[in-house]
Amino acid sequence: MTAMKAVQANFQTDYHEYDKWFTVAKVLLTLAPFIALIYLQAFIGGSNLSELLSQNPEITLTFLVSMARPFTAYLLGFAQKHFYEGDVPYLMSHLALLFAAELLLRNGVYAVLMVVLMFFVYRMTGMSPLAALRLKWRDHFFRDLSGCMVLIAFSMFCLFVSLRLGM
């Protein structure tokens, strides 16, 4: 607990400096299901989307993965609120676990986006993702990061399914 207080005491930077990047990330994550629907509608032409989802497992998996993105945006926004309150390890550990989830989903664009956000937070605070995870491990890891753990479990399931389908 004293290490977290020391981090919060050293937190003297303007934490709204990179708000536009967090906003861009949340908007892209929130729009992902709509982009996927537009893509699927263009892919199927005049066919019925529900029929195609029931017949084609690859398209179903793509659709499911895109539907997880707004939850990621929610987790990112929630962690950003903790960041504004001075809880740097909370945000950095969320970013690290969201990065892991994006790697499991094999989505390079969102994984790079999480790395960029981690870099900005590191630049402002000097806290690395591993240090944040170590601090959170000692201080309510599962309580604070349960949403990320659910997302990682879902990502592992999607990775398993995509490997079984040969995607």
Chunked mean pLDDT (size 10), the chain, 167 residues: 50 66 91 88 74 81 90 91 85 92 92 93 88 82 83 94 88
How open is the CA angle 16-87-131, to the nearest 5 degrees?
110
Tell me, what's the pLDDT at 62? 86
Tell me, what's the pLDDT at 115? 94
Tell me, what's the pLDDT at 27? 94
Nearest one of 68, 126, 140, 142 to 92, comparing CA atoms: 126
